[in-house]
């Protein structure tokens, strides 16, 4: 398996395809495996770099609490080790926050930026959600955790149509998630507690696409509106009838938005 050791931590990554590099950064519960449905399409025209940052997927666990800046530096060292001087950077939710921080610090390495269902600030709404998720994770109970977090990922219509699928997912979680997984999740949530770059968004000068979901209750439309209004010359597109997990609810529309933007 492809790992790179960064600061004595094994960081897992996968590469697919060839050409210009587009890096995919995970949301809180995501991993390299989460992007499998999109590999064939994206890698047909680009080199797709998937990475599990610290406390994600197959990468190592952190030794203690940290801020998102740690993952920014892990990404920087990973790109340096792989010899990538310039990349397209995509971030979903939590990954979008890391992508913004990375672009503000290392803009010379970013050809373009794609931000999906994310925010520029951990405001009171986000802090309240974080507290709920953290409390649910502390029970180490898959049913409680799914009710607090997973079902909030999707639109009501998707939940209604896929109830059996979500129940199956909950049973899988109860088998796969151990105490360490929940502790990793809690650290990831806490790492963004002080995230606030709203006043610096105008410093992002790379071509930027902002993706929203009409029914997103985790990062509502107004969060992406702030991004669009503050990032110069950014493009903003909304996916209708979808919740926070729009990549799973509307996969063809989701990936087509990314591919079309990259071609411009």
Q: Is 153 buried (19+), middle (13-18) or exposed (0-12) by CB count in 10 A?
A: buried
- Token couple for 189: 């949530």
Task: Specify whether the CB–CB gap between 3 and 52 falls below 8 A.
Answer: no
Instruction: Give the per-residue pLDDT at 176.
Output: 86
Given a contact cutoff of 8 angstroms between Cβ atoms, the answer to whether 239 and 250 are in contact is: yes
Contacts (Cβ under 8 Å, ≥6 apart) of 174: 142, 143
Residues with Cβ within 8 Å of residue 115, at least 6 apart in sequence: 91, 96, 99, 100, 208, 209, 210, 211, 224, 227
pLDDT at 152: 87
User: Looking at residue 175, what is its pLDDT?
Assistant: 87
pLDDT given at position 150: 79
Could you list the mean pLDDT of each consecutive 10-residue stretch along the chain, which spans 264 residues?
Answer: 93 98 97 97 98 98 98 98 98 98 98 98 96 95 89 90 88 90 97 97 98 97 98 97 96 97 90
CA–CA separation, 183 and 156 (whole Å)? 29
* pLDDT tens sequence across 108-160: 999 999 999 999 999 999 999 999 999 999 999 999 998 898 778 999 989 99
76, burial (CB in 10 Å: exposed 0-12, middle 13-18, buried 19+): middle
The predicted pLDDT at position 191 comes to 98
Per DSSP, what are the bridge partners of residue 91?
25, 115
Show the tokens assigned to 42: 């994206």
Distance CA 90, CA 93 (A): 10
Structure tokens at 10: 């094994």
Query: pLDDT at position 173, please?
Result: 86
Burial class of residue 210 in the structure, from the number of CB atoms within 10 Å of its CB (0-12 exposed, 13-18 middle, 19+ buried)? buried
Q: Please report the pLDDT score of residue 167 as a whole number.
A: 87
| Domains defined along the chain, listed by start | 3-123+195-263 (3.40.50.1820)
Tell me the per-residue pLDDT of 233-255, one tens digit each, with 9 for 90 and over. 999 999 999 999 999 999 999 99
What is the reported pTM? Answer: 0.96
Q: In 138-243, which ranges are continuous DSSP H helix? A: 142-148, 156-161, 163-176, 179-191, 221-230
Closest-CA residue to 111 (of 90, 132, 81): 90
Please give the pLDDT value at position 120: 98
- Residues contacting residue 228 through CB under 8 Å, at least 6 positions apart: 210, 234, 235, 236
- 158 with 247: CB under 8 angstroms? no
């Amino acid at each position: 398996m492809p790992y790179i050791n960064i600061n004595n931590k094994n960081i897992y990554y996968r590469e697919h395809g060839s050409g210009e590099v587009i890096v995919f950064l995970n949301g809180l519960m995501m991993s390299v495996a989460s992007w499998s449905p999109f590999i064939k399409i994206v890698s047909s025209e680009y080199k797709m770099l998937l990475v599990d940052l610290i406390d994600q997927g197959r990468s190592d666990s952190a030794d203690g609490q940290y801020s998102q800046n740690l993952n920014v530096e892990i990404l920087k060292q990973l790109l340096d080790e792989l010899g990538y001087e310039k990349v397209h950077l995509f971030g979903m939710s939590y990954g979008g926050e890391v992508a913004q921080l990375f672009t503000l610090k290392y803009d010379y390495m970013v050809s373009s930026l794609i931000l999906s269902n994310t925010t520029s600030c951990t405001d009171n709404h986000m802090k309240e959600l974080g507290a709920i998720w953290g409390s649910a994770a502390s029970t180490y109970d898959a049913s409680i955790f799914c009710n607090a977090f997973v079902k909030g990922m999707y639109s009501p219509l998707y939940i209604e149509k896929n109830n059996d699928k979500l129940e199956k997912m909950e049973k899988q979680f109860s088998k796969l998630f151990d105490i360490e997984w929940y502790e990793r999740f809690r650290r990831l949530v806490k790492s963004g507690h002080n995230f606030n770059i709203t006043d610096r968004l105008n410093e992002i000068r790379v071509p930027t696409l902002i993706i929203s979901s009409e029914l997103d209750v985790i990062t509502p439309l107004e969060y992406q509106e702030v991004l669009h209004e503050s990032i110069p010359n950014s493009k903003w597109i909304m996916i209708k009838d979808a919740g926070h997990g729009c990549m799973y609810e509307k996969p063809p529309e989701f990936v087509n938005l990314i591919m079309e933007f990259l071609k411009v």
